[in-house]
Chain A
């Protein structure tokens, strides 16, 4: 008998709780009217950034394309006259992209980056295939200071051997002979 009474009391508590909820203001955030500020490192649409001097960072090394689990990145590498590599075309199929961020991690030049912008809905799925012009932006993204060619030991106009940041002078191996 006591347990029956307890069961009824438990039921009544449950119904009272939900009844009280009826008069509470809903805690829903209504999306298009209120857009919740997303953290800087949220993973959504991918961009190609530029270095502080305004040059393209991407060196078309294919690492992002290789690491992409759904193979949504494709490009063609080319070389400028000064020996600097670049992508002659660069394409990301956002209809396929899963926004995992592996390309960003693989990128040695911080060129490919994910941004918090996610509202890319389209009726025509082919409109989600972004070309290089659509991807390229005029800033350095999350890593504004980094300039790959100032660090890398590659001979370009930026610097000869040994002229890069954190790089020692090249060693003349012949002078080391005993």
Chain B
């Protein structure tokens, strides 16, 4: 009996998180378009419904009804699978992200996290590193020059910045003394880690933007030189899955910044889940603002920044943090 109840609770949690993520992803697209529009002194979408609030719905219907074309020379199976990899890895990361404290419902304690893995942080990295496959294989399987170049750039960029992404979090693990995301939030009871680790925060933020392939790191899909990069040949909902993956990734990194540096769901007055949402949105808006301001990096600048600036600084940061902790 207990087993069935546990299973039911898990299913309900999964459904809630999945629904919430997809809804938020759809509205993040709208938020991005609106906010970017205002940054560029225009309105952004305002036709579908009042202030364009039905725009995500219209986009979804459009993408679902478009033809799902597969190029003749493409590697069919890989071509069809690649977008699913991107969307799935982004969604799966949320399995270990804590949304709040545990709630007591009908005498049972229900933690506000799908699973508290004791290697949660590594799980996040494992999935984030798999996102490369969607990009690289999607680019390769399309059998088109632009897509291949986009895929290769994506692979190179994502492995380069994964290193600094990982290294920037080592001090956080040292401070929290755990890989579990729940424990990391618990360790920030007194102060958020951004106060003690601003360098780490900066490196993580820049690397996260590179991992999500957003401007100024959008070389894999640089539209003025590569068409649309690795998803040039995709249409309909398969393109939609790439798109969805991108915006779920935006939320993922918003949530991770919140968990690692901003104290997770902690905050005064408002309930924890609301605080968590506010923090995700704040990080997302910051990323959109960056997108509205900075131009795209050149390929050599990208590699220079990743290998010669971020990684050495992250290593130095680890050594300094270790020394301070030992003293």
Contact = CB atoms under 8 A, between A and B. Distances in A.
A103 B322 CA distance: 79
Nearest to B35: A22
Contact of B39 (A11, A21, A27, A30): A21
A87 B317 CA distance: 84
B42 A15 contact: no
Interface residues of B, number: 11
Interface residues of A, number: 14
B40 A21 contact: yes
A15 B293 contact: yes
Taking chain A's interface residues, is the majority helix, strand, or loop, or is none over half, making it mixed?
helix
A14 interface: yes
Interface string A1-27: 000000000010011011101101111
B289 A27 contact: no
A28 interface: yes
A14 B292 CA distance: 10
Contacts of A27: 41-42
Given A26-B42, A28-B42, A28-B43, A14 B293 contact: yes
Interface string B283-301: 0000001001110000000
A27 B42 CA distance: 6
A26 B294 contact: no
A11 B39 CA distance: 16
Contacts of A21: 38-41
B41 A26 contact: yes
A48 B298 CA distance: 54
B294 A24 contact: no
A11 B292 CA distance: 12
A18 B40 CA distance: 7
Given A22-B38, A22-B39, A26-B42, 4 more contacts: A18-B292, A21-B40, A21-B41, A25-B41
Interface of A: 11, 14-15, 17-19, 21-22, 24-28, 30
Interface of B: 37-43, 289, 292-294
